[in-house]
Amino acid sequence: MFVLNDTPIDHSDLAARLDRVLSEPAAHRYGLHMQNAGAALSALLYLRAQGAGVFPIHAGIPPETAREMAQAAGCDVMLSDGLKQTALPQAGTAPRGGVLVQMSSGTTGAAKVITRTWEEIAAEVESYAAFFTASAAMTPVIACPVTHSYGLIAGVFVALHRGHVPVVIDSLNPKYILRRLRETDQPLLYTSPAMLHTLARLLPADQRLYAANTSGTVLPEAWFQLIRARTTYLFQQYGCSEAGCVAINQDLQNPYDVGQPLPHVTLTAGHDGTPDNVRITVDSREINTGDLGHLTGSGMLVFTARADDMINVAGLNVYPQD
């Protein structure tokens, strides 16, 4: 069960129709592109349960572009509104099921296709829910795309894992978001830094956001000071497309303190205030994030800069914020 804007939706209601129209979903990888946000999320949850491969594509992307993206991501079926299926030609017989497909952010070059197994994602969800105790009783209000791992995994999947009913908002109207937050018990807002800043500016002087989570970029100092002053519980999470969320700060007091590592991963970085490459080890696989940072004595990861932002001045490493 989830709520889309103001409408409660039981995602299992679509399951009977999907059972009829989809043949052996676990053997296929579906490009999921729908204008109906409720049907899209319901279909995604069904396909996850069936062990299918799924590539959720934002509704704002034109259909032909979405089809090209899905084909490039190894999808052999396009699933669109009305549960219409379109076959996508694929060479070879490589397994296509059992994965969530996402596109990388592109910060290290051209965006690339990232596949993660449902087992890997389940381990992340379990670790996230167990570690992030400060949010355990809160209701996620997700005002960001659920085609992206931030809204989908940290928002929807974790909420359902905890037995909560997440509120998914597909409106960009900040006044509507504020209204839904007021109507929700102990709301934890998942949104972009830009929207969080907008909401903090629009709040009446006698009101505060109950709880909010930020991710994706370090908040500019002026934004951070405003948001921190207008939010009772402010959190930050850090991760990458290949590994998902790997660190959470459960009491954000400095925007560069991006979080402490989740139990299922190991982070390495610089020490004693000296930055070095941030690397993630998960399932015996090492991922170089392309970020620079250091770990404090308490295990907090402090972000410094993107590695490719560093410049050398007279033999010294200098970072943009310096």
Give the tokens for residue 14.
Answer: 């679509």
Q: Name which of 283, 249, 241, 244 is nearest 266 in CA terms.
A: 283
Task: Determine contact, residues 69/31, Cβ cutoff 8 Å.
Answer: yes
For the ranges 41-55, 86-100, 287-301, the lowest mean pLDDT is seen at: 86-100
Strands 257-261 and 231-240: unpaired
Q: Looking at 91-100, 153-162, 289-298, 307-316, which range is the least confident one?
A: 307-316
Strands 139-142 and 113-117, sheet pairing: unpaired
Judged against a pLDDT cut of 60, whether residue 80 lies above it is answered with: yes
pLDDT per residue as tens digits for the range 116-140:
999 999 999 999 999 999 999 999 9
pLDDT exceeds cutoff 70 at 267: yes
The β-bridge partners of 260 are 248
| pLDDT category of residue 188 using cuts at 50, 70 and 90 | very high
The predicted structure's pLDDT at residue 315:
39
Lowest pLDDT segment from 32-36, 49-53, 169-173, 306-310: 306-310
pLDDT single digits (tens) 268-296: 999 989 999 999 999 999 999 999 999 99
pLDDT band at 106 (very low <50, low <70, confident <90, very high): low
Position 254, amino acid: N
Does residue 108 have a pLDDT over 60? no
| CB 266, CB 281: distance < 8 Å | yes
The packing angle between helices 174-183 and 193-202, to 10°, is 80
**258 neighbors 299 (Cβ within 8 angstroms):** no
Considering only residues 312 and 232, tell me which one the structure prediction assigns the higher pLDDT: 232
- Residue 93 has a pLDDT of 79
> What's the average model confidence in pLDDT over 73-92?
95
pLDDT value of residue 306: 81
Q: Residue 311: what pLDDT?
A: 40
- How would residue 320 be classed by pLDDT, with cut points 50, 70 and 90? very low
Question: What are the φ/ψ torsions at residue 71 (nearest 5 degrees)?
Answer: -65, -40
CB contact at 8 A, 140 and 188: yes
pLDDT at 316 over 70: no
pLDDT > 90 in the chain, percent = 88
| pTM, two decimal places | 0.93
pLDDT at 312: 39
What is the sign, positive or negative, of the torsion defined by CA atoms of 285, 152, 226, 139?
negative
pLDDT band for position 95 (50/70/90)?
confident
DSSP class of residue 315 equals: T
